Chains A and B, each alone.
Chain A
Amino acid sequence: MMGNKKRDFILSLILAAVITALLVYVDKEMHYSMLASVIQKASIYALLAVSLNLLNGFTGLFSLGQAGFMMLGAYTYAILTIPLEQHASVYQYFNGGIVNICLPAFVGVIAAGIVAVIFAWLVGKPCLKLKSDYLAIATLGFAEILRALIQWEVLGPVTNASNILKKFPKFDSILTPVIVCAFCIFLVVLLINSSYGRAFKAIREDEIAAEAMGINLAKTKMQAFLTSAFFAGVGGALLAMFQASVQARSFTSAMTYEILLIVVIGGIGSITGSIIGSFLYIASSEWWLRFLDDSQTYLGVNIPFMRGGFRMVVFSVVIMLIVLFYRQGIMGTREFSWQGIIDFFKKPFAKRKRKAVEDNG
């Protein structure tokens, strides 16, 4: 067993080194390419998907409020980090606004998570005792309330009402979002493997039995909810940095659904699945399936149904097929392990060997 541990560690180091080298190369040579933009967006979505999976997949709490927490994170980050000299132009309808501080970017990102946690506590206190689908609709409702609140004219001097927020610091390298997201996901993995994580899973399997085993339901659910909100807030801040602008109008429930579908594609209850799912989803929707939106001629035949919007139709049909016929998603509840990969590649050979033995016998 010790040998395996050492082998896995070395393999992981090699993998990390290869990925870093590739990222540095992409960053240097093709900073403005589609690949670079997909890598950044997909890592941010991976973090968001993991934060939602922590609730839906590991704790069994069906929450649909993720877009609200992302919006809080994005706004907190934007408001706190817009350089002072830019305030007059960004808050042009509100006399430069009333927030007169400008914090470094990383403080802004952490503040984004903290603000999301504070609101999550306010939301969770009354809502977490609700049953599955009522919780879903209540959290969705809270996200909508927050969205209206941010667009409220009276709060304009702080949030710029329904106008756009921009000119805050962005990423200077594509490594930044990847590293921040990888670190956050690593923290979630540690949490899930700890006794807290086991308590989450116990609640998912059977609430009543978990309570009988001495798990404090209200407290444990709140822990999961706050952790998820923190990472959603951080993810929201990173998304703001990636997009270079923030507007409340874009954080609709459709955004939560999108992240939920990523979690489903990857496998509800698998961190690895969420990461793979978000890279596949973002790469397909932003890049690989783009060609479906342009009418093209193949072998002299013009395909009339390929025009704007066709990509999303194909996409949603694929998602429905996964939901209906492949319910465990890509990974189910399994996680990445080197042993798993080695076994996967050995399997066909092993079968053949066994068959050979049987034939001889």
Chain B
Amino acid sequence: MHTATYYIDLLLSGITVGSLYALIAIGYTMVYGILRLINFAHGDIFMMAGFFMVYASASMPMAVSIPVVLVMTVLLGVLIERAAYKPLRSAPRMSVMISAIGVSYLLQNLATYITGGLARPYPEIALLKKTLAVGSLNVKVITIVTPLLTILLVVALVLFINHTKTGMAMRAVSKDFDTARLMGIKVNNVISATFVIGSFLAGVGSILYFSNYGQVSPMIGAMPGLKAFVAAVFGGIGSIPGAVLGAYIIGVCESLIKANDTIAIFSNAFTFALLILVLLFKPNGMFGEKLTEKV
């Protein structure tokens, strides 16, 4: 049998992955809460953030590249919203979703074109690469930093949404789009703010994820993106704590499944099985609001 260290190791790596899913899931859940749109391009924004870093770090010191990457990611997110979703505001939901799929397709092809389709090594961030010895465990700094930073950002975000004017506007728009507009809320600004926050968190997530993973490739965003979406559904779409909890559950389960060779191939399938179970038995997720369709 395996030792306790082995399981603690698995648990830690699960928590790391879960934190990253949480950072991406927040982008999904906030956009869905406000626009009722599954932003299929969100996973690809995460991937593009990885490539921004590869190119930025080639010409700038790390301390400069990190903020540059975050700013670029935010700009990309807002640009996508303005160019691809805003013109379809009054179109049927299916059109907007197709537009999101189209953007995802465009970003993947663009990344393939620019990089020649090859995986690029991700620059090392010296601080995150160090290992610490805790008793018999050798823990990488990144394994500790990731969950701490995630929790910090989530707490900050929840405070922002509950205690600022913009946060209140966001809550109002997600409750009722049209009424919020009648109350004088600038809906387009609120939507842009949502994309800024979502893309910023995806940018932070990408730095942590790729530092751990070591390389970026054009198709890498799709799977973490979908998993983060499942996490958002699991927690109840629109609920930030729910998305974070869902992400941690998925991360830990996935890490345990991957450790067992016979069923390792189901590590992705498990996430979707979980999604289907949640949709069947608790369609509004763990913390979601109940929605009824109006005639």
Which A residues have a C-beta under 8 Å from some C-beta of B? 56, 60, 62, 126-127, 130-134, 136-138, 140-142, 144-145, 147-149, 151-154, 208, 253-254, 257, 260-261, 264, 268, 307-310, 312-313, 315-317, 319-320, 323-324, 327
B295 touches A208 (CB 8 A): yes
Q: Which residues of B contact A152 (CB under 8 A)?
A: 265-266
Main secondary structure, interface of A, reads: helix
- With A308-B117, A316-B102 as given contacts, are A327 and B262 in contact (CB-CB < 8 Å)? no
When C-beta atoms are compared, the residue in chain B nearest to A208 turns out to be B295
A154 touches B262 (CB 8 A): yes
Which B residues have a C-beta under 8 Å from some C-beta of A? 36-38, 83-84, 87-88, 91, 93-95, 97-99, 101-106, 108-110, 112-113, 116-117, 219, 222, 226, 229-230, 233, 262, 265-266, 268-269, 271-273, 275-276, 279-280, 283, 293, 295
A-B pairs with lowest CB-CB distance, top 5: A141-B272, A309-B113, A148-B269, A312-B109, A316-B106
Q: Which residues of B contact A154 (CB under 8 A)?
A: 262
B272 touches A145 (CB 8 A): yes
Smallest beta-carbon distance B206→chain A, Å = 21
Q: Which residues of B contact A151 (CB under 8 A)?
A: 265
A316 touches B266 (CB 8 A): no
B275 touches A310 (CB 8 A): no
Name the one of B87, B104, B112 contacting A312, with C-beta atoms under 8 angstroms. Answer: B112
Name the one of B93, B116, B276 contacting A133, with C-beta atoms under 8 angstroms. Answer: B93
CA distance A149 to B269 in the complex (A): 8
Q: Which residues of B contact A253 (CB under 8 A)?
A: 222
B106 touches A317 (CB 8 A): yes
Q: Which residues of A contact B99 (CB under 8 A)?
A: 320, 323-324
Smallest beta-carbon distance B80→chain A, Å = 10
- With A130-B279, A145-B273, A152-B266 as given contacts, are A136 and B116 in contact (CB-CB < 8 Å)? no
Q: Which residues of A contact B106 (CB under 8 A)?
A: 313, 316-317, 319-320
A126 touches B280 (CB 8 A): yes
Q: Which residues of B contact A144 (CB under 8 A)?
A: 226, 268-269, 272
Main secondary structure, interface of B, reads: helix
- Interface contacts beyond A136-B38, A317-B106: sample of 13 additional A-B pairs, CB < 8 Å, sorted by A: A130-B283, A132-B94, A133-B97, A137-B226, A147-B269, A152-B265, A307-B113, A309-B112, A309-B117, A313-B113, A319-B102, A319-B105, A323-B84
CA distance A257 to B108 in the complex (A): 13
- With A126-B280, A144-B268, A148-B265 as given contacts, are A62 and B94 in contact (CB-CB < 8 Å)? yes
Name the one of A60, A132, A138, A327 contacting B276, with C-beta atoms under 8 angstroms. Answer: A138
Q: Which residues of A contact B226 (CB under 8 A)?
A: 137, 140-141, 144
A137 touches B233 (CB 8 A): yes
A145 touches B269 (CB 8 A): yes
- With A140-B226, A151-B265 as given contacts, are A315 and B272 in contact (CB-CB < 8 Å)? no
When C-beta atoms are compared, the residue in chain A nearest to B94 turns out to be A62
Q: Which residues of B contact A320 (CB under 8 A)?
A: 84, 99, 102-103, 106
Q: Which residues of B contact A254 (CB under 8 A)?
A: 105, 108, 219, 222
Smallest beta-carbon distance A142→chain B, Å = 7
When C-beta atoms are compared, the residue in chain B nearest to A152 turns out to be B265
CA distance A310 to B266 in the complex (A): 35
Q: Which residues of B contact A319 (CB under 8 A)?
A: 102, 105-106
Q: Which residues of A contact B222 (CB under 8 A)?
A: 253-254
Smallest beta-carbon distance B268→chain A, Å = 6
Smallest beta-carbon distance B174→chain A, Å = 16
Q: List 6 A-B contacts (CB under 8 A).
A: A60-B94, A136-B38, A137-B229, A142-B276, A260-B98, A323-B102
Name the one of A134, A149, A315 contacting B283, with C-beta atoms under 8 angstroms. Answer: A134
Output the residue of A56, A126, A130, A145 with the most chain B CB within 10 A.
Answer: A145
A312 touches B280 (CB 8 A): no
Output the residue of B83, B272, B273, B295 with the most chain A CB within 10 A.
Answer: B272
